[in-house]
Amino acid sequence: MGTSRAILAFVWSLVAALGAIGQNNLEAEKPTIEKVRDLHLPYVAGAVPVYYSVGAEARALKYQKAIIGCQQWYDQQVGKHVDVTLAVLNKADWEKVTDIGYPMPSNVGGWRSLPPAGVLVPARFEDYPNGVDFTDDPELLVQNIAFHELGHLYAHYLDMEIDDNLVAELYANIFMVAYVRAQRPDMIVFLQGPSPKLPPKRYTSLEDLQYVAADVGLTNYGWFQFQIYRLADLLLKDKPLPKLLAELKKTFNEPVQRPFKDVAAKLEAIRPAIAKEMGDLWKPTTIPDAQPRPCKETASSGKDSDVVVLNLSLKAVKVTSGTDAQVDVPANAWSMFGGHSGELLQIDTGSCFVFGDEPSIARIPAK
C-alpha cells in the first residue's frame, strides 16, 4: 500500500540522517522465521518444527501435530514437499518479528516474503476481534486456519502465486477444504458458512474483498474467509484437488488483476451454477464510487484510506499517489492505492480523485 511505502520512506530518510541506514536495512530484510529464532523461544523439533511463546506449549504441540498431518497430505496430493516452520506467539513476541497485526494468522516465506517458509498463529485466538463469536472451539479453528496458511505456501511453491486478493485466498482455501473433506470431519462445520453470532458486516460482496482485502476490517475479513470456504467447497464437488488446481492454474494465468466480472465469469466456466449458489456474495461491490475533483491539494486528515483504480478503458492509465512512484494500471484491470483521507490521486487522463474516510473506487470508464 502507498501508505506503508510513504511511512517507510520517511523512516529511512531519518535513519540515513543518523548515519545508520546500513545496519537497519539488514535487520529489515531479515526473514521472519530468522527473527523468530533470534527470540530464543522454547522449541520442539519435528517434520514441522515449532517455536512458541512461554505459556503456549500445550497449544503449540497440538498445532504442530495437526499441521504435520496436513503437510503430509498436501505432499501426497501435489507431489511436492514444502518445508515449514510453525510459530505460536503471544502479542509481545509477535510484534517483535512481524508488522502483520496481531492476532491475524499469516504465512511467511512465500508471496513477497523472504524464505524460509513459515506459519504464524496467535497463542490466543480469543484475542481476535469478535473471536469468541467465530467459534466455540478456538483451538480447532486455529488449526483450520493453519491449514489455510499452509495452502498459501503450497500454492506459491507450485508457481500458482497471484496478486488478486480473492483468487489468492481461494487457492489457499481450496487446499484446506480438500484436506478437511478427506481427513478432518471434525472441521466440516467451518465449511458451512460463518457463525450467525457475528455482528452485521459492512462489506458483503466478494468484489469488496477482491479490491481491499483485509482493509475491510479483521472481523469482516474473517467472515469473508468462511464464505470463501463455501466457494472452495463448491468448486471441489466431484473434482479431486490436483485436477482443480491444474484447471485454476490454466484459467488464471495472467499477471494482471482483472475486474470481478472477469474473475466471476472464469469461475462460472469451471462450475456453471456457482453464481446462484453463492447468492448475495456475487452481487456488485458495495464500495462507493469516488467522484472526480479539481486537481488541487486539500488538507489531509491523516486517516488511512484506500482508492481502487478500476480501469475499464481500452488502454493503460498512469496513476500517481502522493510521492509514490507512478504506477501503470493496464486496460480492463484494477489496482489499489493507499493514502490518507484528503490526499489526491492523479490519473494521467487529467482526472483527480480524493482519498475519503472509507475505501472508494475511481472508475475509468470504457470509451
Whether 294 maps to a domain, the answer reads no
Order of strands across the sheet with 344-347? 327-329, 317-321, 344-347, 352-354
What's the pLDDT at 53?
A: 98
pLDDT at site 299 = 74
Alpha carbon distance 138, 60 (integer Å): 13
pLDDT the model gives residue 9: 32
Looking at the structure, tell me whether residues 250 and 337 fall in a common domain: no
- pLDDT confidence of residue 300: 76
Same-domain pairing of 55 and 160: yes
Q: Are residues 78 and 163 in the same domain?
A: yes
* In a domain? residue 86: yes
Answer yes or no: do 141 and 269 share one domain. yes
Segment (H or E) for 50: strand 50-52
pLDDT at residue number 275: 97
Q: Domain range spanning residue 191?
A: 11-282
Same domain for 133 and 27, yes or no, is yes
Q: For residue 4, is it within any domain?
A: no
Q: Which helix (H) or strand (E) holds 150?
A: helix 138-157
The CA-based angle 344-350-352, given to 5 degrees, is 20
Rounded distance between C-alpha atoms, residue 224 and residue 238, angstroms? 24
CATH number (domain holding residue 175) = 1.10.390
Q: What total of structural domains would you count in the chain?
A: 2
Residue 89 is assigned to a structural domain of this protein: yes
The answer to whether residues 208 and 349 belong to one domain is no
pLDDT of residue 4: 33
Query: Within this chain, do residues 36 and 162 fall inside the same structural domain, yes or no?
Result: yes
Helix or strand (DSSP H, E) at 244: helix 241-251
276 and 142 within one domain: yes
Q: How many C-beta atoms surround the C-beta of residue 366 within 10 A?
A: 10
Task: Tell the residue number behind the cell numbers 484447471, with chain if given.
Answer: 247
Q: What is the pLDDT of residue 11?
A: 30
245 plus 124 within the same structural domain: yes
| Residue 120 φ then ψ, to 5° | -110, 125
Identify the CATH number of the domain in which residue 317 sits: 2.60.40.780
Q: Give the pLDDT of residue 122.
A: 97
Q: What is the pTM of this model?
A: 0.89
235 torsion bin: left (phi>0), alpha (psi -120 to 50), beta (else): alpha
Beta bridge partners of 17: none
On whether residue 296 sits in a domain, the answer given is: no
In a domain, 3, yes or no: no
In a domain, 348, yes or no: yes
**159 and 35 co-located in one domain:** yes
How far apart, in whole angstroms, are the C-alpha atoms of residue 64 and residue 45? 10
- All 3 cell numbers of residue 90? 503471544
Successive 10-residue mean pLDDT values, the chain, 367 residues: 32 31 52 98 98 98 98 98 98 96 93 92 91 92 97 97 95 98 98 93 97 94 97 97 98 95 98 97 97 83 92 96 91 96 93 94 92
Residue 275 shares a structural domain with residue 215: yes
- Cell numbers 497471484 correspond to what residue? 162
For residue 311, is it within any domain?
Answer: yes
| 191 plus 310 within the same structural domain | no
The confidence score (pLDDT) of residue 28 equals 55
